[in-house]
Amino acid sequence: MQTHKAKRVVITIEAIMQKRLTDILEGAGVTGYSILPVLGGSGRSGAWSREGQVSRASGMVQVICIIKPERLDGLLEAVFKVVDKHIGVVTIADVEVLRAERF
């Protein structure tokens, strides 16, 4: 079956910044993305868990989008405005998709 090259961008960011990030993504023309809750993990500040959180300040989410390779630089520049000072991990992977017109 015919496949097409694309980029999968995964942004793990504080939940409190979620809307700001998705606004930026939409502003950069990315209308398709998925948001997943991050249950817990460990980083430079030690281990944390979503359970027992009393504030939105402490949770993390993962925003995933798949885009055409030529749109990657513009997207990353926009995303950097949000993750610059905030906790956040941005990863980019080469993927293949079936229906290129969707991305």
Between 35 and 74, how does the x/- string for binding to another protein read (CB under 8 A)? ----------xxx-xxxxxxxxxxx---------------
Min separation Cβ 81 and another protein, Å: 12
Query: Residue 55 and residue 27: Cα distance in Å, rounded?
Result: 28
Strand residue runs (E) in 1-103 = 4-14, 34-38, 40-43, 46-49, 60-67, 88-97
Sequence-separated (6 or more) residues with CB below 8 Å from residue 29: 71, 74
Q: Does 1 bind another protein (CB under 8 A)?
A: no
Min separation Cβ 26 and another protein, Å: 14
Instruction: Name the site residues for another protein (rule: CB under 8 A).
Output: 14, 16-17, 19-20, 45-47, 49-59, 85-87
